[in-house]
Amino acid sequence: MSSTDKPAILQVSNADLKSLEEQAGLNSIQWPEPKPLNNVLLPVKPITEDMLPRSLSGWLVDITERMDNGHLEYAAVCAVTIASALIGRKVGIHPKQHDSWLVIPNLWGCMVGRPSSKKSPIFSEVEKPVRKLEAKARQQFEEDKKTHAADQKITAVLTKDAEAKAADLAKKAAKTNDPVERSRKMDEARALLLDDSGDPEPPVCKRYIVNDTTVEKLGELLRKKSGKAQRVDQASYITSTRHYWKHEHR
């Protein structure tokens, strides 16, 4: 076909299409009439005080009663999930009696309710003890930073002293004619320069709460022994996972 030739256009009539469908047997499929979807939720029994741990039940009931009889389910979900996050990997489960297989249970909590159903106030009230731990940890972190800065100055002084001693040993090694003595002094000089036992480790702020974090940043924080993850707006998180580069998050 030359560049001036126009492509042929295939024209098929409705009768031809119907004939092709009959030959393929598509008309032999008898589809039933669509039925309406049943969107009625099954009844769920409300949570009661005796279902909760004794150490939490009185506190949670008091919170919900002070919230104009808010839902006890909201308080229970928050408290149990937060407690699980604080316990972390300190408690595990051995599914098999005679086996070393250890499972660390992770609890995920999510509150679903209509607007103005007191989700946020109940959550904030249950979260208060963790907020106190967070504030205490940050205060300790500020003190640790000051100590670390002082330790760095001390390490700098010790490093200079070690360098001076190593230089002196190197000079003595260069002057001696005994190869064994020269090797010994050089080894001592290297040991002084390679000794990093006095280098202070930078302090890490213990995190109990993170808000609207990415999966990558959350993994980094968890490696530093942080506590629980909080995301208030679940809809925004679910929407953010729709991006094609976040398929692993889904």
Per-residue pLDDT reduced to its tens digit, 75-114: 999 999 998 888 888 889 999 989 999 998 888 888 888 8
Specify the pLDDT at position 146. 93
- Region label for 118, one of left (φ > 0), alpha (ψ between -120 and 50) or beta (otherwise): left
Place of tokens 């995190």: 207
The span from the CA of 98 to the CA of 91, in Å, is: 18
User: What average pLDDT is seen over the chain?
Assistant: 81
CA distance to 56, 80, 155, 180, 217, per residue, from 139 (Å): 28, 26, 25, 54, 23
Beta bridge partners of 103: 93
Q: For residue 21, what are the contacts with CB-CB under 8 A and spacing of at least 6?
A: 27
pLDDT at 36: 86
Per-residue pLDDT of 137-146, as tens digits, reads: 999 999 999 9
Q: Mark 174-207 as b/e (b = at least 16 C-beta within 10 Å).
A: eeeeeeeebeebbeebeebeeeeeeeeeebeebb
Provide mean pLDDT across the span 14-39: 71
Residue 73 pLDDT: 93
Instruction: Give the residues across from 93 on adjacent strands.
Output: 103
